Amino acid sequence: MKLKIETLAIHGGQTPEPVTGAIMTPIFQTSTYVQPGVGENKGYEYSRTGNPTRKALEDCLAGLEGAQYGLAFSSGMAATDTVVRLLKSGDHVVCGNDVYGGTFRLFDKEFRRFGFEFDFVDTTDVKALEAALRPETRLVWLETPTNPLLNVSDIRAIAEMLAGRKNRPLLAVDNTFATPYLQRPLELGADVVVHSTTKYLGGHSDAVGGAIAMNDTALYERLKFMQNAIGAVPGPMDCFLVLRGIKTLHLRMDRHASNAEAVANYLSDHPKVKTVTYPFHESHPQYAVAKKQMRNGGGMISIVMNGGEEAARKLAEGTKVFALAESLGGVESLIELPAGMTHLSVAASPLAIDTGLVRLSVGVEHVDDLLLDIEQALGKV
């Protein structure tokens, strides 16, 4: 039976525990497993290599992405790092020019030192992406919608463009902002999906984690080998927290989106706000692509204030329900200034962020409280 994503969010990868019947996957808080004989085991030998709580999370994530395989990591950056290690010195990567600041930092400050080459291009423009490809391009790295500008790239159009090339590079999509409930990149032609499970998948701002999902068996075996060899694995408690968070993914994402839509509409009519970016708002430059590849617009909004950085600061420091904090995707609403907080690592780079930009992670509180909070904070600007 092919289960729908709402059902997979609750049951994917999970079966009642056989000894006691416990319906929840236990937190197998163990580093090692007693072996019945030398070289024999019951599927687990050491928890860097494998752990039953982690396995349940990996299978659950794979199910959500419509993938054959899932792998869990200790953070989104650990997952990203592992994908890039598929390459070798001299290989070239084409990456979006508006990606998570930490992704840019890892590529630009770490991997360049090892002889990897990167070009950062506007991936919303398939022609620009195609023009950046070289014979030695082995990886195309997309983020959509992007953090923090919410640019949307057409995954299917890019996959089709790449499909026609000899020596086709791998297409990886960071699906953190959309989650598999809104968008499934593998079904649109991507090879690898990467997540920061810290965000919407975990959903409660209580764990840091990452994941990779894929269909190709050889690719899975290579990445699984690296997961064990490198050791950036999540602990069982964090796997449990993410598994538990995922059970309400579909409920949360629908509420995040309806709240965000209301907030985006309110902000776009406000005289102190210059621009509002929300993927499902008609003013979004890739509105049609967003509508085609996403189920809803998600919970993230970016705005630029008329009064620049000063106004942006006043707004972010003036909210009471929206907490001033980095990160996103939890049930609680957050507000931040990317240029001075999450995206400091791209300051003074070509990817630098407008200092008047404010990023909102709209939570699942009552929408009236969120609107009133923004109204009172804008009053102080």
Kind and range of the H or E run holding 213: strand 210-214
Computed from CA positions of residues 98, 102, 106, 108, in that sequence, does the dihedral angle turn out positive or negative? positive
Closest contact distance (angstroms) between CB of 176 and ligand PLP is 4
Query: Among residue numbers 69 through 128, which ones bind ligand PLP (CB under 6 A)?
Result: 75-77, 100, 102-103
Query: Among residue numbers 176 through 195, which ones bind ligand PLP (CB under 6 A)?
Result: 176-177
The amino acid at residue 340 is: G
What residue is closest to ligand PLP based on CB?
A: 76
Query: Among residue numbers 304 through 343, which ones bind ligand PLP (CB under 6 A)?
Result: none
Closer CB to ligand PLP, residue 103 or residue 296? 103
Computed from CA positions of residues 76, 78, 81, 82, in that sequence, does the dihedral angle turn out positive or negative? negative
CB atoms within 10 A of CB 151: 25
> Is 100 in the active site?
yes
CB atoms within 10 A of CB 314: 16
Our measurement of the distance from residue 137's CA atom to the centroid of its chain's CA atoms, rounded to an integer in Å, reads 23
Residue 379: name the closest of 318, 296, 297 by CA. Answer: 318
Asked if residue 358 binds ligand PLP (CB under 6 A), the reply is no
Rule CB under 6 A: choose which of 54, 55, 138, 199 binds ligand PLP.
Answer: 199
The amino acid at residue 228 is: N
From the candidates 199, 247, 252, 255, give the one annotated as an active-site residue.
199
4-12, 54-62, 174-182, 368-376 -> range binding ligand PLP (CB under 6 A): 174-182
Closest contact distance (angstroms) between CB of 381 and ligand PLP is 27
Overall size of the chain counted in residues: 381
Q: How far apart (Å, rounded) are the C-alpha atoms in residues 361 and 255?
A: 12
Q: How far apart (Å, rounded) are the C-alpha atoms in residues 316 and 328?
A: 14
109-117, 156-164, 173-181, 217-225 -> range binding ligand PLP (CB under 6 A): 173-181
Asked if residue 143 binds ligand PLP (CB under 6 A), the reply is yes
> Could you give phi then psi for residue 69, rounded to 5 degrees?
-135, 150
Closest contact distance (angstroms) between CB of 77 and ligand PLP is 4
Our measurement of the distance from residue 67's CA atom to the centroid of its chain's CA atoms, rounded to an integer in Å, reads 16
Closest contact distance (angstroms) between CB of 249 and ligand PLP is 16
> Residue 192, SS3?
strand
Closer CB to ligand PLP, residue 63 or residue 102? 102
Asked if residue 198 binds ligand PLP (CB under 6 A), the reply is yes
Closest contact distance (angstroms) between CB of 145 and ligand PLP is 9
Closer CB to ligand PLP, residue 77 or residue 304? 77
From the candidates 54, 55, 69, 100, give the one annotated as an active-site residue.
100
From the candidates 154, 174, 238, 373, give the one annotated as an active-site residue.
174
3-11, 23-31, 90-98, 172-180 -> range binding ligand PLP (CB under 6 A): 172-180
Helices (H), the chain: 5-11, 52-64, 76-84, 101-105, 126-132, 155-163, 179-182, 217-230, 236-246, 249-268, 287-293, 308-318, 367-379
Closest contact distance (angstroms) between CB of 72 and ligand PLP is 11
> Is 181 in the active site?
no
Kind and range of the H or E run holding 121: strand 117-121
Number of residues located near ligand PLP, criterion CB under 6 A: 16
Known catalytic residues are 48, 100, 174, 199
Positions touching ligand PLP (CB under 6 A) are 75-77, 100, 102-103, 143, 147, 174, 176-177, 196, 198-199, 208, 210
